[in-house]
Structure 1
Amino acid sequence: MLSLTSAQLSSFIGIFWWPFFRIMGAFMVMPFLSSSYIPVTVRVLLALTISTLLAPMLPPLPSVDAISIGALFLAIEQLLVGFMLGLFLSIMIHVMTLLGAMMSMQMGLGMAVMNDPANGTSNPILGQWFLLYGTLLFLALDGHLVAIGVLVDSFRLWPIGSGVLDLPLMGLVSRFAWIFASAFMLALPSILAMLMVNITFGVLSRAAPSLNVFALGFPMSMLMGLLCVMLSFSGLPTRYSDICLDALEAMYQFIGG
């Protein structure tokens, strides 16, 4: 007759349970997988599948009773580690949203706001457009597969039970400054072009005060802005792929890779 002790049962459950929490924490904020369009059942089943495949390759796990307070803290710890790893990619994808917001403000389309039912936010319409484009480009570059590979490597580089406070948390905090710098560098050519348009109409208003500059300048600014958006798509894939590689590299280095 087969008999299992409580220690053996806790060890068996932990092999699948702790990796599941780390992977699920990352799926909560990762691009595309965190969208409300992806059912929670699909995310849970995908996380369970990956944790099951990982079970034979995991390093020795800490012996913790599955129904103890220590097990609860360990589960929260793994959830936080996965959440912080996924946050690198969430920050990366929102570079495109900020890029669209900057260009919308320069074009005079800042008031054109569209609700995003997937994330429960309201963004400028150009921000939504760039966000969709960035998500599709990230998937086309197989960034989601690389991110899952980093998650798998995290169990080797940062084993379960290693804690959270020893992680380089300041590296994660610095990424919030990186998002503004990256978005500004992508939007800089369009901002300069729109600045020249505004300066031109400012000179016209001084040279010909009787000219209705507002009636002429607003449509011209919008047309110039749309031209800048069209031209920015020519070099955007190359620059955004560099941003994706930078975010994935920072995600890997965060766990000591």
Structure 2
Amino acid sequence: MLSLTSTQISMLIGSLWWPFCRIMGAFMIMPLLGNAYVPVTVRILLSLSIAVLISHLIPSVPPVDALSLSAVYLAIEQLLIGVMLGFILYLLLHVMTLLGTIMSMQMGLAIAIMNDPATGDANPILSQWFLLFGTLIFLALDGHLVAIGVLVDSFRLWPIGSDLFSLPLLGFVHRVGWLFAAALMLALPAVLAMLMVNITFGVLSRSAPSLNIFSLGFPMTMLMGLLCVLLSLSGVPERYSDLCLEALAFMYQFIGGAV
């Protein structure tokens, strides 16, 4: 008759429960899978399926009683690691949202706001369009598959039971600054073009005060902004692809991988 001790039962449960917590934490915030359009049941079943498939690849888990406070702390720790890994990709896609916001403010489309039912946020329409554009680029690069692969490798590079505070948390905080820098880099050509248009209409208003600048300047600014958006379609994808690779590389390095 097969007999198992409580420690063995706890380790068997832990070999499935701890990976599930880390994967579920990433899927809670990761783009696409973390979207409100994806039901919670689907995310739970997908996380559980991946945890079952990789359970034999995970190094030995620490012998922790499943009903102790240590098990609760370990579960929260794995959940936070998954959330941080997913948040890196969350910042990546919101580079395009910030890009659309900057361009909308420059061309006068910031008042054209659409409520996003997925997040509950109110973003300019141009931001929603750029977000969709960036999502398609990310999927075309198979970034979602690479992200899941990095998440699976995290159990080998950063085994369950490793200290959470030993992760490069300072570099993780710097990714917020990277978000603004990347969005500004993509929007800089359009911002400079719109600045030249505004300077031109400023000089025109001084040289011809009788000319109604507001009735002429707004449509011209709008046309110039739409032209900048059109020209961005040829340059943004290549640069955004580099940003995707940079974000995935940092995601791998964050858990101790070497690129």
Which TM-score bucket, shorter chain as reference? over 0.9
Deviations 1:15-61 (A, max 9, x none): 11000000010111111111011111111111111111111111111
CA separation in 2, counterparts of 1:191 and 1:82? 36
1:172-198 per-residue CA deviation (whole Å, 9 max, x = no partner) reads: 100000000000000001001101110
Give the match for residue 146 of structure 1: 146
1:21 maps to a residue whose letter is C
Q: Give SS of 2:164's match.
A: coil
Once residues 68 and 240 of structure 1 are traced to their aligned partners in structure 2, the CA distance between those partners, rounded to angstroms, is 46
User: Which segment is superposed worse, 177-186 or 120-129?
Assistant: 120-129
Paired residue secondary structure (2:29):
coil
**Separation (CA, whole Å) in 1 of partners of 2:24 and 2:38:** 13
How many residue pairs get aligned? The number is: 257
Task: Indicate the SS of the match to 2:195.
Answer: helix
Where do residues 65-104 of structure 1 align in structure 2 (5 Å cutoff)? 65-104=65-104
Residues of 1 paired with 2:159 and 2:84: CA distance? 15
1:52 aligns with 2:52: yes
Match of 2:109 in 1: 109
Secondary structure of 1:28's match?
A: helix
The C-alpha deviation readout for 1:73-109, integer Å capped at 9, x for no partner, is: 0000000001011111001110000000000000011
Aligned ranges for residues 1-257 of structure 1 at < 5 Å?
A: 1-257=1-257
Q: How well do the aligned residues superpose, as a CA RMSD in angstroms? A: 0.8
CA distance in structure 1 between the partners assigned to 2:89 and 2:113 by the alignment: 24
Q: Distance in 2 between matches of 1:235 and 1:38?
A: 31
Q: Distance in 2 between matches of 1:189 and 1:213?
A: 24
Distance 1:133 1:201 in 2: 32
How many angstroms does 1:131 deviate by?
0.7
Q: CA deviation at 1:3?
A: 2.9
Counterpart secondary structure, 1:159: coil
Percent of aligned pairs with the same residue?
70
TM-score (norm 1): 0.98
Gaps of 5+ in 2: none
CA distance in 2, matches of 1:253, 1:117: 34
User: 1: distance between equivalents of 2:2 and 2:166?
Assistant: 41
Q: Distance in 2 between matches of 1:228 and 1:243?
A: 21
- Determine the C-alpha separation between the residues in 2 that align with 1:160 and 1:88: 20
The amino acid that maps onto 1:66 is A
Where does the alignment leave 5 or more consecutive residues of structure 1 unmatched? Answer: none
Give the C-alpha shift of residue 113 in structure 1.
1.0
2:252 counterpart letter in structure 1? Y
Normalising by structure 2, report the TM-score. Answer: 0.98
Residue 127 of structure 1 deviates from its aligned partner by 0.7
Q: Distance in 1 between matches of 2:27 and 2:16?
A: 16
